[in-house]
Each structure stands twice: as structure tokens, then as C-alpha cells.
Amino acid sequence: MINLLNPMDDFTFILANAGRDVLINGIETRALVTNTSIKTDYTDKYISTLTEIKQGDRIEHNGLYWLIVSEVNGKRYEKYKGVMRVCNHIIGFKINNEPVCIPVIAYGSSIGVTTNQYISIPKNEIILTIQKNEVTEQIKINDTFVKWGKLYTVEGIDLTLPGLMHLHCSQSLSSNNVEFICTEAGDINYTPWYITIEGETELEPDNTYSYIAKVYDGNGIEHDYLKVIWSVSDGANSTIDQEGKLTAYTSGENITIYATLAETNIVGQLQVSIASQSITYSITGANEITHGYSANYTASKLIGGTADPNAVFNFSIDYLGNSNSIATLTVINNTQCSIKANRSVYYINLIAQDASTLETVSKEIMLKSLF
């Protein structure tokens, strides 16, 4: 039975039995959604709820986003009631160089949606109605976005209706820019997009490794159609190409790999390290040189047990306090030298210094007599 004295009780009963769970600006509540009696070109519905609503609020109902487009003049019969209109698109804007997915009500003959008889829109222009919130308020004149394969520029922003923004946008003929494909809103409770990098983190020198970057929006949805720009930390000897292939060079090097979403501030990072390899040195040649004769000596640098073909040594003699006339040093090339014994009997040390690391190796040599 209808309670004429307390209609609040009747609405509570109807809300409990015929209402739906909806989200109002991301917060769950119970609401009664009904068809409007007004014929329009839009998909409009009434929403009635005990929760306070206002013009510009965004409703999630039946898998779609809606905006309250009517004024809500306070509580009437202990409930709030307004008209909501379905958002027919979700557009990926770039706000402060970061992608943001925003549900919109889009109007324009070029996209097959026209407004009512009181508004006329040029062929290459569209109007977007969006919720006014902390994120969307950062949209500025001359901001751009890509939709329907075309680049649009925001040329006007209408803020005359509380809670709503009307963006007047014009299109370019074509666009090479990438469209951010959106399936969920990302402006309310905004969470930035992010990039993860997958691949090895413990590397060996002189090897090539492949890395994969994945771009996610704030809702954790992957956007695998987006390409990234690869780079490594400044000063790194290792290199990475735009296919994500890293060539590791210097042992013991710590590197940061970066994957950046083009024309945005979205950057993923991965720390990798190249294993240090043991370096050993040796000098080969005779232990003794007879007075008046010469002998050749070779210095070697082994990295991980493999000879370094690019090694360069600086050779010198430690005469152990004796005159430097007792032996003569002649450098043959980067790794070889010759010593002639001018006198006997003496001991000297041949020293080879690695030109790159300044590490040294020495060999004791006896200058002996002929007899």
C-alpha cells in the first residue's frame, strides 16, 4: 500500500527492490534508474537516490559511463533526482604530458552524432562534454588528442554549466600521432600510467640481451600497441637499440635501462649489472740474459681467462739501485719489448703497466756473464 503520509518509506521500499547498485564518482550507492518521458536525440535516463547528486556527477551504470546533465535542485521528498546522459566515447587525452582516459559525450556531424536543433556544429568540429574535476580542469586551449584516426585541437572551453566542461575542438586532415585506446575512465582517482621492463638483470660482458617494455594505464590495462623509446643511463659503455636489444660491454658496469612512452613523461626503468671478470697479467720471456745479448718479452692481459687483443702496456726497468747503463730497454709494440744486457752480473725488474687500468706486472731478470 502506498503511504501518502510518508512517501519516503515508499521510495525506500522501491529503491530496495527495484534499485540498482551504481557508482557515483567512483563511490558505490543504490539508485533507481528509469526512462525519461522527454523525447530527445540522446540516451537519457532519470536517476533517483538517497545519496546527494549534482550536475556533472559521473555515474557508472549497466557497464556504461553517464553524466548528470540536468540541474539537481536539492532534495525533494527526501531523495535526489536528475537526468543522466550516456557517454558515447572514452578519449585518451594527454594532460601535462601524461595520458588520461576520460569518458565524453561527443557531438559532431563528422562523427555521426548531432546535437539538437538549437546548436549547429561545423563539419570539421566536435563538442565534447566532460565532467569537471581536478584532472580535467588541467586541459588547456591548444591541447590535442587523437580519435577516429584524426588529430583534434581544443580551441575553446565552456565552463558555464556547474560540474561540466564543454570542449570545442577542431580536426586536422590526418594524424600520424598514436591514439590512446581507452576502455575505462582514468581521471577520477587518477593513477598515472606506467611501464614495466622485462629481461635479464645479471649480465655477462660481450653478450646481447633482449628486453620487452609493457605500457599500462592507471587501471592496470596493458596497451600493447604503444611503442617506447629505448635508452641507457648516461656514460654507459653498453648500448641498446630501438628493438630493445642491449649489448653489454664493460665488466663490472651497472646500467639503468629506460623505456619512455613517446612525447610523454611516462618512463619505465630496469637496473642491470654486468658481471665483473677477473683480470690477470703476466710477462713471458727468458729469466736470464747473457752479457752482450738481447731477449724479447711479451706482456699479456687476460680477462676471464681470455687474452685482451686491445691491451696496451707501458714498459720500464727497475734497476734496483744500479746504474741504468747496465741494460737497455727497447719497446717493440704495445705488448712486446726487448732488453739488452750491457753488463753483468746484476738483477733487474722488467715492469709492464696496463695503460687503461694502471695495474702493473713485473718479472725479475738476471744479467749474467758470458762465462
Q: What is the mean pLDDT of residues 340-361?
A: 96
The SS3 call for residue 73 is coil
The SS3 call for residue 66 is strand
What are the structural domain ranges in the chain?
7-86, 89-171, 194-274, 279-368
Q: Taken in order 26, 32, 38, 40, is the CA torsion positive or negative?
A: positive
The span from the CA of 147 to the CA of 149, in Å, is: 5
Cβ 317 vs Cβ 350: under 8 Å: yes
The CATH H-level superfamily of 279-368 is: Immunoglobulins (2.60.40.10)
pLDDT in tens, 259-272: 999 888 999 999 99
Q: What is the pLDDT of residue 114?
A: 53
Question: Is 148 exposed, middle or buried (CB count within 10 Å of its CB: 0-12, 13-18, 19+)?
Answer: middle
pLDDT in tens, 59-117: 999 999 999 999 998 787 778 999 999 999 999 998 888 899 999 999 886 555 554 44
Query: What is the rounded average pLDDT for all residues in the chain?
Result: 89
Q: What is the pLDDT of residue 196?
A: 97
Cβ 12 vs Cβ 48: under 8 Å: no
Q: List Cα–Cα distances, 154 to 94, 140, 158, in angstroms.
A: 12, 7, 11
- Quickly state the pLDDT bin for 257 (edges 50, 70, 90): very high
Q: What is the pLDDT of residue 371?
A: 80
pTM of the model: 0.69
Q: What is the pLDDT of residue 117?
A: 46
- Give ∠ CA 21-24-29 in degrees, rounded to 5: 35
Q: List Cα–Cα distances, 76 to 2, 9, 50, 52, 61, in angstroms.
A: 18, 14, 10, 11, 23
The span from the CA of 134 to the CA of 190, in Å, is: 9
pLDDT in tens, 118-177: 455 667 889 999 999 999 999 999 998 999 888 999 999 999 999 999 999 998 766 677
Closest-CA residue to 268 (of 307, 305, 226, 303): 226
The span from the CA of 49 to the CA of 75, in Å, is: 10
The CATH code belonging to domain 194-274 is 2.60.40.1080
| Residue-by-residue DSSP string for 289-304 | EETT-EEEEEEEEEET
- Give ∠ CA 300-368-361 in degrees, rounded to 5: 20
Question: Is 74 exposed, middle or buried (CB count within 10 Å of its CB: 0-12, 13-18, 19+)?
Answer: exposed
Fold of the domain built from segment(s) 7-86: Thrombin, subunit H (2.40.10)
Q: Is residue 292 pLDDT above 80, yes or no?
A: yes
Q: What is the separation of C-alpha 127 from the centre of its chain, rounded to a whole number of angstroms?
A: 31
Q: List Cα–Cα distances, 339 to 285, 290, 308, 314, 362, in angstroms.
A: 10, 11, 24, 14, 14
* Percentage of the chain exceeding pLDDT 90: 68
Q: What is the pLDDT of residue 178?
A: 82
Q: What is the mean pLDDT of residues 237-250?
A: 93
Lowest mean pLDDT across 7-21, 147-161, 317-331: 7-21
pLDDT in tens, 179-208: 898 989 988 888 899 999 999 999 988 899
The span from the CA of 280 to the CA of 228, in Å, is: 41
The span from the CA of 233 to the CA of 235, in Å, is: 6
- Quickly state the pLDDT bin for 41 (edges 50, 70, 90): low
One fold for 7-86 and 279-368: no
What does the CA dihedral 46, 88, 266, 27 come to, rounded to 10 degrees?
10
